[in-house]
């Protein structure tokens, strides 16, 4: 599992957007959780962290490995 710190989420639509972005990355088995309260995303699979971060940033959010 990989945990990302995601900044810029402030509503349920933001959570959905981040979830969709992460789900579309090759190697993601499951987006376990995207937490608005904690500003975190937990991903299960073999996806590359850089690819996950790029997908989130393409949606307009800041991301880094937590």
Give the range of the structural domain holding residue 50, as residue numbers without chain letter. 2-65
First to last CA, the chain: 11
How is residue 38 written in tokens?
């904690």
Give the Cα separation of 16 and 10 in Å (integer).
Answer: 11
Q: Where are the beta strands (DSSP E) in 1-66?
A: 2-7, 28-35, 40-45, 62-65
Q: How many domains does the chain have?
A: 1
Contact 4, 45 (CB under 8 A): no
**CATH number of residue 23's parent domain:** 3.30.70.100
pTM value surpassing 0.85: yes
pLDDT in tens, the chain (66 residues): 999 999 999 999 999 999 999 999 999 999 999 999 999 999 999 999 999 999 999 999 999 999
């Amino acid at each position: 599992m990989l945990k990302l710190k995601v900044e810029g989420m402030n509503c349920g639509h933001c959570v959905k957007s981040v979830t969709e972005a992460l789900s579309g990355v090759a190697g993601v088995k499951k987006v376990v959780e995207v937490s608005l309260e904690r500003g975190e995303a937990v991903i299960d699979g073999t996806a590359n962290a850089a690819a996950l971060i790029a997908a989130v940033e393409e949606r307009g959010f800041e991301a880094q490995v937590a």
